[in-house]
Amino acid sequence: MAAKTVNVTRAHDTRPNNTRSGAWHARTAAETCIAFETGTDGLDHQEAGRRLGIYGPNQLPAAARTRPFLRFLAQFNNALIYVLLCAATAAIVLGHLVDGAVIVIVVLVNAVVGFVQEGRAEQALDAIRDMIAPHATVLREGERHTIDARNIVPGDIVVLEAGDKVPADIKLLRARGLTVDEAILTGESVPAEKSEGVAAENAPLGDRFSMLYSGTLVATGQGYGVATATGASTEIGRISDLIGKVEMLTTPLLRQINEFSRQFTWFAVATAAALFVFAVLARSYDWVDALMVVVALAVGVVPEGLPAVITITLAIGVRRMAARRAVVRRLPAVETLGATSVICSDKTGTLTKNQMTARRVATAQGVTGLSGAGYAPEGKLVAEDGGAAEPDGARDRLIQAALLCNDARLVDEDGQWSVLGDPMEGALVTLAAKAGLHPETEREAWARLDEIPFDAQHRFMATLHEGPGSERRVFVKGAPERVLAMCIDQAGPGATRPIDHAYWQQRIDAAAAGGERVLGFATMVPDAGVDRMAFATVTSGLTFLGVVGFIDPPREEAIAAVAECRAAGIGVKMITGDHNGTARAIARQLAIANDPKAIEGAALDRLTDAELRAVVDEVSVFARTTPEHKLRIVRALQANGHIVAMTGDGVNDAPALKQSDVGVAMGRKGTEAAKEAAQMVLLDDNFASIVAAVHEGRTVYDNIRKVIGWTLPTNGGETLSVVLAIVFGLTLPMTPVQILWINLITTVTLGLALAFEPSEPNVMRRPPRRRGAPLLSRFLVWRIVFVSFLFMLGVFGAFYLALWRGYTQGEARTAVVNAVVVMEIFYLFNVRYLHMTSFSLIGAVGTPAVLGAIGVAVVAQIAFTYAPFMNDLFGSAPISLVDGLLIVALGVLTMIVLEIEKAVMRKVWPTAAYMA
């Protein structure tokens, strides 16, 4: 019954957010349907559209974003900036207007860059969040539709199963084994049992057993019901303003860097104070001059732009990952992905294509093959020698079971056949059609009375049907050894006979060894009058019919991705519910290991945690596992020091996803429960996308190291030069305002460019970073010290060379400022490749970001040197072209020294130590 068009005012009267709200738990299902003018066929599309117009989309109002102006102000709320602003005030008060103005400009430019980039990062994250917006199944005009959960309206009939997130408040019309995790509403961690019926009017939320509430998760079972409230009118919408909260742009690494910057600031301030005292007392500096020098130094050395650049680097990583079909739900995953040392993956659909084709049917009488490819119902049964298939009663019954104990449908779109539902079940519909059955007619003739849905835990599905002449039959399909264990005999030829276990084992092993997925079938005639199935009635006394073998080829891109992982020192483990033999054959085709070792779930159960730890590194295939095994496997791997990425799709996978370092949920076949628990969602369910995300994760980490590796020593070089000049009472090679100028011009150009670096070519050819490896690795510390000294040499070299050539102090200082910027540019090229030489064509060409940054810096330097007003402001003076060339030569020399150092270091420190 499709709903009639509802009178708007009436629908309005029954709006769940009016005074009668919350009372649906105390009403019958029929009353609720009448009130919402709906029925078991759901609404019609037009009416649903109309209601959407009235009630609005089913979503909670997003938490108000901070206003842009406040967000801009927040950029200044930082210890580093306070120090800089104090410095600017001091400079202005002491009459050094230019110095003060430059510091203010430094602060403003940093704030603007931070503000703009942070806004872009947030926008990117929002767009990505939309890519994984939840979906829900509703009945409209009698048909199931999967729709965006935002389009659910009151009166919609919503269908739910284990793993779904309840998309609205719902009055149950039917429930089977339904339990719901309502912790989000009630705080109760044990799932609540749900059933049809009427609860007391004053029942508390947790006792309203016939209601499901938006935002809760279906733990087990199935059911459907009427949506009684959507959006902000739902219970969760009323009590919570937490949902839809904007995720903070922060990660452990970012916090570590903020903390580092803060400590560093105080260190810099303290050192500057000491230097000030020394300059005034021991070197008889005028105190105002001394103050300006130390202020400029503090400004120069403090990496005030670093946190913003690193946020940008992370956001760019998130965007690049999304472009490669991996959506990061929690920002810290970007960092962790780069350190991943083991990826545990499901098989079906992730490593394989999940395009199933039934290849053969084996019964007691013999094996029958099938012609045709894909889901197209074209082809026929053929004997093993290629001739026509012999008649076989057991096979006919098996094929009938395959069609009826099955929820899939085939759809034909212009000759392109595809499956609605489980691909393996789709392949069985194709099999039935090839055998001459008409799916719709057969399913109508044999109406389904009851079912036990498939569950990874019990590994079978059973249905009860009533056929012509009121004949009733139970059909079961499932993992063959599981179904065999439920049987007492086997079908034909002729009468039933005892089960020939050896025969079936041999059939199953042969198919599995070829990588085929095998399914067993059985049937029984229930006792008269039975119209419901209990678990116990179907788990014994069945008659085994035979097995079907399916092929599900590995994804080509997964083969390449596995090879990439092996080169990158990342272990790949296949964790599957499938048969040991099948899983190993597929693992071999994917080249997961040279000789993949396998262990079955049952054997795993017999191992203690310590024993599991001892073998877990060696084993690459875990077969016939249940989701509970995943948790133990993750823990064992983590105990062995691994950083583990784990895939999952079902509701029972949630604990393992949460336990792993990077939980990866399937975007297509994954349940909402798995997505909620995961840190990352794959839009295409593809193993290759995980590896792509690891690749990007490594790049992000590399780029962060590059940003730090560039920023700290360039700041350090300038500082060291001036400190040395003061300590030894030499003429300052740069004035305070010139130091500020360098800082202004390079941090927002050169420093930012490294955030946009593409991956280094060898990014997936080196081992993963160690768990807990410090960001400032020994190598980076060495680099900071070495480069700081090198820059200091450059500064004094340029300064004394210019003086020796007879230049004035102003000209010599101009040469020094130019030399510093030029060396920073050359050093940038050196840092772009931490793991290989930068002397290559791609190394020399750079990226648009690098070239743009250099362009800006060069133009600024030309202005600094030649523009008269700049000369006035900064005390600079024009220098000759020859001197310009000499400065570039100095840059080249720096680069050569650094490349030699890199080559030597790569020998001294093999890659692993290099990172640590």
Structure tokens at 117: 């980039």
Cβ(887)–Cβ(811) under 8 Å? no
DSSP letter for 478, please.
E
Q: Residue 575 CB, nearest distance to ligand ATP (Å)? A: 7
Q: Residue 465 CB, nearest distance to ligand ATP (Å)? A: 16
Q: Residue 519 CB, nearest distance to ligand ATP (Å)? A: 5
Q: What is the dihedral of CA 11, 12, 14, 15, to 10 degrees?
A: 120
Cβ(149)–Cβ(219) under 8 Å? no
Of the pair 685, 883, the CB lying nearest ligand ATP is at: 685
Of the pair 325, 347, the CB lying nearest ligand ATP is at: 347
**What is the amino acid identity at position 376?**
A
Q: Residue 395 CB, nearest distance to ligand ATP (Å)? A: 19
Q: Residue 553 CB, nearest distance to ligand ATP (Å)? A: 14
Structure tokens at 510: 């042969």
Of the pair 321, 461, the CB lying nearest ligand ATP is at: 461
Burial letters 779-800, b for 16+ CB under 10 A, else e: bbeebbeebbebbbbbbbebbe
Give the position of tokens 């007619």. 441
Of the pair 22, 549, the CB lying nearest ligand ATP is at: 549
Of the pair 147, 456, the CB lying nearest ligand ATP is at: 456
Q: What CA–CA distances, in Å, run from 244 to 65, 129, 680?
A: 11, 11, 18
DSSP codes joined into one string, 569-604: T-EEEEE-SS-HHHHHHHHHHHTSSSS--EEEHHHH
Q: Residue 359 CB, nearest distance to ligand ATP (Å)? A: 15
Of the pair 268, 623, the CB lying nearest ligand ATP is at: 623
DSSP codes joined into one string, 508-549: HHHHHHTT-EEEEEEEEPPPTT--S--HHHHSSSEEEEEEEE
Residues that bind ligand ATP (CB under 6 A): 346-348, 422, 424-425, 454, 456, 459-461, 477-479, 519, 576-578
* Strand 662-666 with 680-682, pairing: parallel
Of the pair 99, 425, the CB lying nearest ligand ATP is at: 425
Neighbours of 53 (CB within 10 A): 10
**Angle made by CA atoms 266, 713, 723, in degrees to the nearest 5:** 60
What's the distance, CA 275 to chain centroid? 49
Catalytic entry in 156, 346, 653, 685: 346
Structure tokens at 262: 């803060």
Length of the chain in terms of residues written = 916
Q: Residue 329 CB, nearest distance to ligand ATP (Å)? A: 21
Q: Residue 344 CB, nearest distance to ligand ATP (Å)? A: 11
Q: Residue 70 CB, nearest distance to ligand ATP (Å)? A: 48
Taking every pair of Cα atoms in the chain, the longest distance, rounded to a whole number of angstroms, is: 115
Of the pair 39, 577, the CB lying nearest ligand ATP is at: 577
Of the pair 37, 346, the CB lying nearest ligand ATP is at: 346
Structure tokens at 198: 């009427």
Q: Residue 577 CB, nearest distance to ligand ATP (Å)? A: 2
Q: Residue 640 CB, nearest distance to ligand ATP (Å)? A: 23
**What is the amino acid identity at position 626?**
T
CA distance 694 to 317: 10
Candidates 702, 847, 713; CA nearest to 785 is 713
- Chain residue at closest Cβ approach to ligand ATP: 577
Cβ(449)–Cβ(465) under 8 Å? yes
**Angle made by CA atoms 873, 82, 732, in degrees to the nearest 5:** 40
Query: Which residues face 347 on adjacent strands?
Result: none
Q: Residue 424 CB, nearest distance to ligand ATP (Å)? A: 6
CA distance 722 to 293: 8
**Angle made by CA atoms 603, 605, 611, in degrees to the nearest 5:** 85
DSSP letter for 5, please.
P
CA distance 229 to 322: 33
Of the pair 630, 705, the CB lying nearest ligand ATP is at: 630
DSSP codes joined into one string, 681-701: EETT--HHHHHHHHHHHHHHH
Helix/strand/coil (H, E, C) string of 230-262? CHHHCHHHHHCCCCCCCCCCCCHHHHHHHHHHH
CA distance 733 to 809: 9
346 is catalytic: yes
Q: Residue 326 CB, nearest distance to ligand ATP (Å)? A: 19
* Strand 571-575 with 342-345, pairing: parallel
Of the pair 352, 894, the CB lying nearest ligand ATP is at: 352
Please say whether the dihedral angle defined by the alpha carbons of residues 264, 266, 269 and 273, taken in this order, is positive or negative. negative
CA distance 143 to 155: 15
Please say whether the dihedral angle defined by the alpha carbons of residues 832, 837, 838 and 841, taken in this order, is positive or negative. negative
Candidates 251, 291, 249, 260; CA nearest to 273 is 291
Cβ(446)–Cβ(465) under 8 Å? yes
Which residues participate in catalysis according to the annotation?
346
